[in-house]
Chains A and B, each alone.
Chain A
Amino acid sequence: AIRMTQSPSSFSASTGDRVNITCRASQGISVYLAWYQQKPGKAPKLLISAASTLQSGVPSRFSGSGSGTDFTLTINCLQSEDFATYFCHQYYTYPWTFGQGTKVETK
């Protein structure tokens, strides 16, 4: 199975900060990479698919980049509602796999 490694696992940030979360695949997955946001007690929400395509309704402060094995989720000007856990997900091949998650906490 393809292993997805996110970094960091957690960190503290302030509103207005620029945040970068990275995801590395153990083998090339082209751009078959999605990013999800999850808040406590809620289902995940799709933010970005195909590595860089913003989902309809998602604020433009979210962006994604990368291809092959290295990917980045960037949040520009962090807002209070962005404090959550973020997961990357490869759908290049079964079994699908997820990163372990990155928790963004308030500083």
Chain B
Amino acid sequence: EVQLLESGGALVQPGGSLRLSCVASGFTLNTYAMSWVRQAPGKGLEWVSGISGRGGNTYYADSVKGRIIISRDDSKSTLYLQMNSLRAEDTAVYYCAKSVGSTSSVAIDFWGQGTLVTVSS
């Protein structure tokens, strides 16, 4: 059974940093493309970052480029999102999401339950 368990969400001040983690089980992490997708309170879905299966190519939304790094530790079956220079507009539930295959041209087929990041002073 596929499971994605996010953690690391917290209340952080503007300009601060946070690292989100997503522990994957039920599949081999590095054979699937993975993404982080966020949802601000009462708003729609926004793709934030992705990493391909084999090769580990990384991709970022313009809104976070230069401030966020996606990575994975295959030995721990864990996906990470390092978030720096956080802004109020980064406040959202962050979902870890698994794609159907290893490349970018496949849909997300499974989502974690999300972790809440609140950026406020």
Q: Which residues of A contact B (CB under 8 A)?
A: 1, 32, 34, 36, 42-46, 49-50, 55, 87, 89, 91-101
Contacts and interface: CB of A to CB of B under 8 A. Distances in A.
User: For this complex, into which size category does the number of interface residues on chain B fall?
Assistant: 20 to 34
Q: Interface majority SS on A: helix, strand, loop or mixed?
A: loop
B46 A89 contact: no
Contact of B47 (A45, A49, A50, A96): A96
B100 A49 contact: yes
Interface of B: 35, 44-47, 50, 59-62, 95, 99-100, 104-114
B105 A92 contact: yes
A94 B109 contact: no
A95 B61 contact: yes
B89 to A, nearest CB: 16
Please indicate which of the listed interface residues B47, B62, B95, B104 has the most CB atoms of chain A within 10 Å of its own CB. B47
